[in-house]
Amino acid sequence: EMCIRDRDMALDYDILVIGGGHAGCEAASAAARMGSRTLLLTMDMTKLANMSCNPAVGGVAKGQIVREIDALGGRTARITDRTTLQFRMLNRSKGAAMWSPRAQCDKGRFSAEWRHELENTQNLYIWQDTAAELLFDTAGERPRVTGVRTYMGVEFTARAVILTAGTFLDGMMYCGEAHAPGGRAGDPASTGITASLAAMGFETGRMKTGTPARLDARTIDFEALEPQYGDENPSKFSFSTDTQSVKHQSPCFLVYTSPEVHATLRTGFDRSPLFNGTIHGIGPRYCPSIEDKLRTFADKEQHQLFLEPEGDNTNEYYLNGFSSSLPWEVQWEALHKIAGFEDLHIFRPGYAIEYDYFPPTQLHHSLETKLVRSLYFAGQVNGTTGYEEAAAQGLMAGINAHRALAGKEPVVLKRDEAYIGVLIDDLVTKGVDEPYRMFTSRAEYRILLRQDNADIRLTPLGYEIGLISRKRYDHFVKKNSLVESLVEFARRQSIKAAEINDYLKSVNSEPLTQGRKLYDILMRNNVTFESLSETLPKLRKFISDNNISAEAIEEAEIQIKYKGYIEREKFIAEKLHRLENIRIPEDFDFHSMNSLTIEARQKLTRIRPATIGQASRIPGVSPADVNVLLVKFGR
């Protein structure tokens, strides 16, 4: 009897996470570190947070998301820093709102570091098995999830379940006319979960993604390729002092297709599952297959590709930009016609994968489902694409599942607080009609949501909810005070024309006719703290005496240069917050409001927005409809 009781206790958890990808790892890590007894159910412990596609983290807008995950206390940035092969800050030539960090990673070490992290997290347990069926209690007014049954027949019970199954739900892989069930090459698909959710009334759909061939470095003529190096002084992702920037960087290489390559690829179009109706799922618009590119940009004679190393100790290379589901022999022949690939051997051809997802308008902003209590969805099951988007959702689902069990309000980030807030609001308010990828253009407040200030925006919240340590918080407070002190020094410090005019001429800036404050001079183009400190001994002394880091100097400079833009965006955001504060009752009957358009009534009933702000962002709800809602619920 004692043994049975112990066993039952071992099979019961506060939070159960299904899937060990980027979303699942962040969800399980956050929930456990916040204090919930957590089980991570994964099909393969050797592939936790596996980089199924390109071996990189970050990029345009995605890099901002990773820094936000780190500021909240997530783990992706730290693990990226520990496994970086090359670091680049993209868009440096543009304004600071566009700067986006990106790191090539050692794919094998990235997964191994995540495994080490999770195996050494208190309250976190791992079980290697496949979820076959979700279990529900349907007795109440709204059903509640109670656990999961696995392929091995084990039943785990839990007070909350987070589904992060990625591309595995009824996954089907395609390469030309060949197809086979699978979640990715070498891994089986997962069946049963979609059926158990459809039976509960969930709407489901199909999406498609693809991946390129993997190449053997021993058979590539690198002399014929154009190298692409990392930053001369590389930065890093995590704001924590626990990680270092990369010391020895590996190059990537630029590769180009040609009309001859294109002609070869076209010979397989009639056997492409994308073009002959075999695949019905919609693919990612901004990461198209090579055959999609040839059809959409028919007049282009060449496409740029990126050859990226998969690790320090492997000959495997990833050909970014050459995703394909064409027959393997067509891929083989076309690749051999690329300069430098004449003697190429490939480890495996590219393929497409079609999988189930659940339209995310079925979720609250907390990522809990509207239909079933205590059930959360995160990652590609919500129709997104990308490791970073998945990890962000996983982190928020883990935080909110734990807080719900503790009787606390969910953490919902606003659109002017984080790209993560934009991501989740877009998903639950607008839904998706193709795999969703984050871009800076999706954020209306991107001057506020920069990668450099993610810690200022979100570290206090991460500390408050229990994911940021006291040591890390104290480091943040100190850095922030140094930024403020440097800005204040620039405001106070007067500079004479004689001190600086030679410098201003050297950076093509108009000389001074009279003394000015250092702050005003810094607002000019081409003027930087770094170059000014070489000219002005008092500035150099202030930075040295206060031991101000390069990161703090850059933050102070951005705050000074973009002050006008930042203040304008804050003003607009504060005006719109008024709409976010006007709540709509959860069970309100929109069909009773004849002054709303029929489309608005239908969309509002389907999405069930929590506030007028959210209602205003639903496609099909016009400004006139918003005014009607303001008369009803506003002041």
Average pLDDT over residues 72-101: 96
Distance CA 34, CA 467 (A): 7
Structure tokens that stand for 369 in this block: 């489902």
Distance CA 294, CA 573 (A): 42
pLDDT in tens, 151-203: 999 999 999 999 999 999 999 999 999 999 999 999 999 999 999 999 999 99
Percentage of the chain lying above the pLDDT 70 cut:
98
pLDDT of residue 572: 86
What is the C-alpha to C-alpha distance for residues 389 and 397, in angstroms, rounded to an integer? 12
pLDDT digits (tens, 9 = 90+) for 20-29: 999 999 999 9
Per-residue pLDDT at 619: 85
Residue spans of alpha helices (H) in 180-252: 193-198
Look up residue 347 and give its amino acid: F
Least Cα distance to 411 among 460, 445, 471 occurs for 460
Q: Partners of 169 in the beta sheet? A: 190
Look at residue 32 in the predicted model and tell me its pLDDT.
Answer: 98
- Take residue 70 and report the two structure tokens written for it: 């780190």
* DSSP per-residue letters across 346-389: EEE--EEEEEEE--GGGB-TTSBBSSSBTEEE-SGGGTB-SHHH
Q: Which DSSP symbol is given to 343?
A: T
Token pair for residue 622?
């016009």
- Helical spans, DSSP H, in 160-258: 193-198
* Amino acid in the structure at residue 214: R
Query: Percent of the chain scored above 90 by pLDDT?
Result: 87
pLDDT at 371: 97
Q: What are phi and psi of 485, to 5 degrees?
A: -70, -35
Q: Which of 251, 254, 217 minimizes the C-alpha distance to 88?
A: 251
- Cα–Cα distance measured from residue 508 to residue 502, given in angstroms and rounded to the nearest whole number: 10
Cβ atoms of 165 and 43 within 8 Å: the answer is no
The CA distance from 517 to 489, in Å, is 10
Confidence bin at 635 (pLDDT 50/70/90): low
User: CA dihedral in degrees (504, 505, 510, 512; nearest 10)?
Assistant: 60
Determine the pLDDT at residue 580. 87
pLDDT of res. 284: 82
Query: Which of helix, strand or coil describes residue 341?
Result: coil
Tally of CB atoms within 10 A around 491 = 12
Q: What is the pLDDT of residue 4?
A: 47
| DSSP letters for 50-116 | ---S-SEEE-TTHHHHHHHHHHHT-SHHHHHHHTEEEEEEETTTS-GGG-EEEEEE-HHHHHHHHHH
pLDDT digits (tens, 9 = 90+) for 112-159: 999 999 999 999 999 999 999 999 999 988 999 999 999 999 999 999
Residue 39 pLDDT level (bands cut at 50, 70, 90):
very high
- Rounded average pLDDT over 516-541: 94
**By three-state DSSP, how is residue 416 classified?**
coil
Euclidean distance between CA atoms 546 and 556, whole angstroms: 14
> Taking the chain, what is the end-to-end CA distance rounded to the nearest angstrom?
63
- Give the integer Cα–Cα distance in Å for 387 and 107: 13
Instruction: Find the range with the poorest average confidence among 36-45, 92-101, 483-492.
Output: 92-101
From 210, 428, 197, 222, select the one nearest 307 (Cα to Cα). 222
> What CA–CA distance (Å, rounded) separates 500 from 495?
7
Confidence of residue 3 (pLDDT cuts 50, 70, 90): very low
Contacts with 591 (C-beta within 8 Å, 6 or more apart), sequence order: 601, 605
d(CA 482, CA 592): 56
When pLDDT is averaged across residues 396-401 and rounded to a whole number, the result is 98
Return d(Cα 131, Cα 135) in angstroms, integer: 11
Q: Report the 10 Å Cβ neighbour count for 240.
A: 20
| Residues 38 and 13: beta-carbon distance below 8 Å | yes
Task: Compute the distance between CA of residue 391 and CA of residue 75 in angstroms, rounded to an integer.
Answer: 9
Confidence check: pLDDT of 433 > 90: no
The arithmetic mean of pLDDT across residues 520-526, rounded, is: 93
Mean pLDDT computed over every residue of the chain: 94
Confidence (pLDDT) at 1: 45
Distance of alpha carbon 228 from alpha carbon 104, whole angstroms: 12
Least confident of 354-363, 458-467, 592-601: 592-601
pTM: 0.94
pLDDT per residue over 290-328, tens digit each? 999 999 899 999 999 999 999 999 999 999 999 999 999
Q: How far apart are CA 165 and CA 24, in angstroms?
A: 8
